[in-house]
Structure 1
Amino acid sequence: MTQASTPTLVTVAERAGVSRQTVSNVLNSPEIVRPDTRERVLRAIDELGYRTNVVARQLRTRRSFLLGLRMPPAADGISGQVLDRFLHALTEEAQGSGLRIMLFAAADDEAEIREYENLRTTTGIDGFVLTATHSGDTRTRWLSDHDIPFATFGRPWDPEPAGRAAEASAEGVPPKPGHHAWVDIDGRAGTRAATRHLLDAGHRRIAFLGWPEGSGVGDDRHAGWLAAYEEAGLEHAVVQRAEDGVAEGTAAANRALADPGVTALVCVSDSIALGALEAVRELARSEPDRAPVAITGFDDTPVAGAVGLTSVAQPIDQVAARIVEQLRAQIDGRPEDVPDHQVLIEPRLVVRTTSRTEHRR
C-alpha cells in the first residue's frame, strides 16, 4: 500500500459513516460507543487495514495501554488450568478494550511489589491485575497507597473493622485493602449446590475433602458444604483436609471412607476429587458389597469432563470481562461508570456420572 493510500482516522470515519471522534472513541474508549456503531467502525478498520500509531497515541495520551500481571507460579496440570483459562480470557478482553497484558515473574509478594515499581518507572504501565489474593496481602495496600489502578481476581480475605468503609467514603480518602475493585467466584454457593445435589439424591453422610484451614478460598468452599447441611437440618458429617494434589486427595478420601457410613464426597478441587475417585475405585475392588460412593469436584477442568466427574464450573470469561471493565474505568478516570466494583459471580454445577447414582437408605 502506498503512502498516499494509507488509511487514516478520516477515511475510516467516512467508510463507517461516523465522525472522526467516534472512531477515536472506538480505539481508545470502546465501552462508551454504542455496540452497533462500534461494530460498524471495527468493520471499516478491518476493511481498510487501518493500524493505529501506538507510539503517537502513547505520546498524546501519556498512557501505555498496558496492564501488568504476575505470571502464576507453575502448578500441576489440573489446578493450573483455572489460571491458564483466566490468562487467555483476560488477554482477549483486554485486546477488545484497546489494552495489552504484560506478563512478569516474581518469586513472592515482596518481589511482585518491586516489579510494580520497576514497571511503572520503565514502561509507564497503566495498572495491574492481581491473582491469588490472601490474608495479609501487602500488594493491595501498596497499590492503594500509591494510587495505582488495579483489580483482583479474588476477594480480600482480611476482616474489615465495622464502619471503616463508610468512614473512608465520607472522608474522601483513597480506598484501602478491602475496598478496592475485585471479582471473585462464589465458592460457598458452588459447594452448597454440590452438597444439595447429593442430599437430593438420598445421601446423608457426605464427607468434605478440603484444603488446610486458613485458605480463604478453601474455607469459603467448606462454608457452602456446611450451609447445605444446616439447611437440611442434619448433623455435620466427616471433614478431611489435605494440600491440593491427586495423591493427597486419595489419602484424604481413604481417611474419610474409613467411616462406613460415608456414601458421598464433596471435594474442594478437581485435583482432590480425582484422587478421591481412585480411592473409591480401589474401595469397590476391595469391598464389592459396599454401596457406590458419589463424588463432586470444583473447577470443572477438562479432565473432569474426560472422566465424567461432576464438578462446579467457574465462569472465567465473566471474571475477565468485569476486571477489564473495572480497570478501564479507573484508567480513564471514570470509576463511577462501573457501579459494582466488587463482584461475586455464582458458579454452575455440571452433573456427570460420578454423582448420578441415587443412594437408597
Structure 2
Amino acid sequence: MGARRAPVMSDVAARAGVSHQTVSRVLNHPELVHPETQERVRAAIAELGYRRNMSARALATSRTRMIGVVTPATRSFGPTYTTVAIQDAAREAGYAILTAGTVDAAASPHDVLDFFLDRGVEGVVVVAPTEEFAEAARGLAGSLPIIVIATGLRSPAPLHVVAIDHEQGARDATRHLIDLGHRHIAHVAGPSNWFDARARLAGWRAELEAAGLEVPEPIEGGWDATQGYAAAQRLLSGPTMPTAVFTANDLLALGMMRAFHEAGVRMPDDVAIVGYDDISGSDFYEPPLTTVRQPFQEVGHQVMEALLTALDGGSPEPGLSRPELIVRASSGAPAQG
C-alpha cells in the first residue's frame, strides 16, 4: 500500500467548498475574506493537516516569504523582545524570519548580507541599539529593502527607520515625579553608546529644564541590577539624597531598591523610584515598580508594514511608537517637613 499523499491546497478548497483562490487569500491576505469563510477554510486546513510547501511557493512566485533579522547577540530586554515582536508580526503576515545574531554587526556587514542573499530573503530588519549596528545597516543597504529599529538615529537615508520614542517615555516618567511634587530627581543612566539610553537621558534632562528645575549630573549605570545597587550606594554615601530617582531600566531600579532597603530607606516615603521597560515581575517588586512600558507589538507591526511597503516599491513613513507610563506604588509624593 502506497504512502498517503500530503494534502494540497485544492483538497482544502474542496473540503471547505470554496475556490482555490479563496484558500490562497485566507493564507496570504485574510483581511480580504469574510470571517465566516475564513473560519471554514481554517477548519478544513486543521482537519486535513494541510501545510504550505514554501519551497514550491518560492519557485512559483520568486518569493521566499523570508525576512532576515540582524540582532545583537545579547539577552538585553529591548533587543530580545523587539526580535520576538518582529517574529510574531512576520508570522501574521505570512513570513518567516531568519536571524543573524552578532556581537559586532559592523565588523562584517557584507558577510551578513551574503548569508541572507544565499537564502533568498526578501528584506532585512536590523535591530540597532548602538551606532555600530546602525552602521552595519547602512552597509547592508542597496541590495535589499532595509528597515532599521533605532531611536534617535540621525541621517538615516537610505534606511527606513522604525523606533520607540524613548525620549518622550523618559519625559513622561520625569513629569510624573514632578507632578507628585519632587524637585530633586536623579537619573541612573544606561550605557552611553546605546541609542535608547541616550534618549532616556535626554528626556529626563529636557523635562527638568522645562520645569525650571536643577539638572544634576546623571549617575553612570548600565543595564544590570548590580550597577543599580552600586549607584544607590553612591547616593547613600553622598552629602544629600534626591527625593526621587528615574532609572534607565527596571533592573537598575531593582538593584537600587535592594540597596535602599538594606539601608533602611523607605520607598516611596523617603525616595520615589521609576524604572523603564515594565519587565515581567516588576509589578511584584517591593513596592511594585512604577515604570514605562515599551510597545513592542506595535513596533513589530510597524516594521512589517514598512517592509511590505518597501517591497512593493513604496517609501515607508518613519514609524515612532509612544511608550506608556505604568503607575504603581514605588512612586509617591515627597515627605513633608
Greater displacement, 294-303 / 36-45: 36-45
TM-score by length of 2: 0.85
**Equivalent-residue separation in structure 2 for 1:94 and 1:3 (angstroms):** 34
**Equivalent-residue separation in structure 2 for 1:314 and 1:208 (angstroms):** 19
Q: Is the 8 A contact 1:180 1:342 kept in 2?
A: no
3-state DSSP of counterpart to 2:69: strand
Correspondence 1:52 to 2:52? yes
Hey, what does 1:356 align to over in structure 2?
332
Change (3 A) 1:63 1:5: closer
Q: Is the 8 A contact 1:67 1:125 kept in 2?
A: yes
Hey, what does 1:141 align to over in structure 2?
138
Hey, what does 2:72 align to over in structure 1?
72
* Aligned-pair identity (%): 33
Greater displacement, 199-208 / 114-123: 114-123
1:190 maps to which of 158, 169, 180: 169
Structure 1: runs of 5+ lacking an equivalent: 161-176
Correspondence 1:25 to 2:22? no
Q: Is the 8 A contact 2:138 2:158 kept in 1?
A: no
Change (3 A) 1:156 1:206: closer
- CA deviation vs aligned residue, 1:321-353 (integer Å, no higher than 9, x gap): 22122223333x2536xxx53111111111222
Hey, what does 2:179 align to over in structure 1?
200
Correspondence 1:100 to 2:96? yes
Kindly state the Cα deviation for residue 242 of structure 1 after the two structures are TM-superposed. 2.3
Correspondence 1:235 to 2:211? no
Greater displacement, 245-254 / 307-316: 245-254
The one-letter code sitting in structure 2 at the alignment partner of 1:24 is: S
Q: Is the 8 A contact 1:244 1:272 kept in 2?
A: yes
Q: Is the 8 A contact 1:207 1:256 kept in 2?
A: no
**Equivalent-residue separation in structure 2 for 1:81 and 1:40 (angstroms):** 39
- CA deviation vs aligned residue, 1:158-201 (integer Å, no higher than 9, x gap): 3x3xxxxxxxxxxxxxxxx3453232111111111111111122
**Equivalent-residue separation in structure 2 for 1:156 and 1:41 (angstroms):** 44
Change (3 A) 1:360 1:42: farther
The one-letter code sitting in structure 2 at the alignment partner of 1:86 is: T
Aligned pairs, number: 331
The one-letter code sitting in structure 2 at the alignment partner of 1:306 is: F
Greater displacement, 92-101 / 262-271: 92-101
Kindly state the Cα deviation for residue 211 of structure 1 after the two structures are TM-superposed. 2.7
Structure 2: runs of 5+ lacking an equivalent: none
Change (3 A) 1:207 1:121: closer
Kindly state the Cα deviation for residue 311 of structure 1 after the two structures are TM-superposed. 1.1
Kindly state the Cα deviation for residue 115 of structure 1 after the two structures are TM-superposed. 3.6
Greater displacement, 36-45 / 131-140: 36-45
Hey, what does 2:146 align to over in structure 1?
150
Kindly state the Cα deviation for residue 19 of structure 1 after the two structures are TM-superposed. 3.9
Q: Is the 8 A contact 1:143 1:149 kept in 2?
A: no
Kindly state the Cα deviation for residue 120 of structure 1 after the two structures are TM-superposed. 3.6
**Equivalent-residue separation in structure 2 for 1:152 and 1:35 (angstroms):** 35
Q: How does 1:326-337 map to 2 (within 5 A)?
A: 326-331=306-311, 333-335=312-314
